[in-house]
Chain A
Amino acid sequence: MIWESWSDFFSMGGYGVYVWGSYFMTIVCIVGEIILIQKRHRTLHKHLGLIHESTEKEIKNETSS
């Protein structure tokens, strides 16, 4: 085993700030990217819903008049 304890693991031989700073930013970027894409997808479906409703209304108006 390389690490003697958890604090040994987190200190990374004194380079903890640099090592964990790298991994932390990577996690932020990955999670951020996934959230942004999903948000874009959801917003789009809302938008499509509005288009859909307005065309349905138009069709109804045309058939009733």
Chain B
Amino acid sequence: MAINWFKYSSPASFYSLAGKMVPIFFIAAVLLLVAGLYIGFFVAPTDFQQGEAYRIIFIHVPAAWMSMFLYLVMAFWAGIGLAFNTRLSSMVATAIAPTGAMFTFLALWTGSLWGKPMWGTWWVWDARLTSELILLFLYIGFMSLQAAIDDPRRADKAGAILALVGVINIPIIYFSVQWWNTLHQGASVSLTQSPTMATTMLWGMLIMALASWMYSIAMTLMRTRVIILERESHTAWVAELHKKEVAR
């Protein structure tokens, strides 16, 4: 049996496939969110050092992970679009940026609200916080650069170069707590060591991270669909699709 793997790289077939996938990922996100919040607020115990303030972790860490991970995925698709001239990959990269920026903002916002009671300050210019702020500027720069260029294909290429250069910031964020003396604590969860936190806290955090994944996929697919329609508005298949949606 031969599967045509390139079938869904055409915007028209991807549009309908993505339309079917959005509800699945969205429902998964909602279910995981409910489970994660339940564990986070009703199962995970009070922290012996930080009291209840640590419950910010269930947003802060998933948001920070997603902010970095989405940037890598965005740069990957932008790079593929640049190298192979595939339109859909560039559209996906463009679709990821706002969600990535949102998670970066939330990581900074929740970090600030956590820093105030624990460190006594909303903000410090330490390496972790500063590099995360630079990540936010990279997302905003990517979006404004693309918005400033009228020709979508040229916008894709310019954006891709910015995104690829900015990848250097991701390891800087990740390792900042080791490379520099930061006020921000080191990683509580890593691939090489066993986590330094209560099991229920860890589970709550991981489930919330999974919920953020599902949410990000749903949003990216939704936004990619809109971008496909915008860019292909002159084509026959969009006219056909529009006729069907109006008749419904």
What is the predominant secondary structure among interface residues of chain B facing chain A? helix
Of B42, B215, B245, which is within 8 A of A2 by CB? B42
A47: which B residues are within 8 A, CB to CB?
233
Most chain B CB neighbours (cut-off 10 Å) among A21, A22, A45, A55: A22
- Contact A52 B53, beta carbon cutoff 8 Å: no
B59 to chain A, nearest CB (A): 5
- Contact B233 A18, beta carbon cutoff 8 Å: no
A56 to chain B, nearest CB (A): 10
| Count of chain B residues near A, Cβ 8 A | 38
- Contact B223 A37, beta carbon cutoff 8 Å: yes
- Contact B245 A45, beta carbon cutoff 8 Å: yes
What is the predominant secondary structure among interface residues of chain A facing chain B? helix
Say whether, besides A12-B53, A18-B113, A21-B113, A48 and B222 are in contact (CB < 8 Å): no
A17: which B residues are within 8 A, CB to CB?
113
Residue of B nearest to A51 (CB): B233
B241 to chain A, nearest CB (A): 9
| Count of chain A residues near B, Cβ 8 A | 31
- Contact A29 B59, beta carbon cutoff 8 Å: no
B138 to chain A, nearest CB (A): 18
B246: which A residues are within 8 A, CB to CB?
45, 49
Report the separation of the CA atoms of residues A22 and B115 in the bound assembly, to the nearest whole angstrom.
12
Check: A6 CB closer than 8 A to any chain B CB.
no
- Contact A52 B55, beta carbon cutoff 8 Å: no
Interface segment, one of B44-52, B148-156, B161-169 = B44-52
Report the separation of the CA atoms of residues A22 and B45 in the bound assembly, to the nearest whole angstrom.
19
- Chain A proximity mask over B207-239: 1 for CB below 8 Å, otherwise 0: 000000001000100110110011001000011
Say whether, besides A13-B51, A47-B233, A52-B242, A18 and B102 are in contact (CB < 8 Å): no
- Contact A18 B226, beta carbon cutoff 8 Å: no
- Contact A15 B102, beta carbon cutoff 8 Å: no
B residues adjacent to A (C-beta < 8 A): 41-42, 45-46, 51-53, 55-56, 59-60, 63, 98-99, 102, 105-106, 109-110, 113-114, 116-117, 215, 219, 222-223, 225-226, 229-230, 233, 238-239, 242-243, 245-246
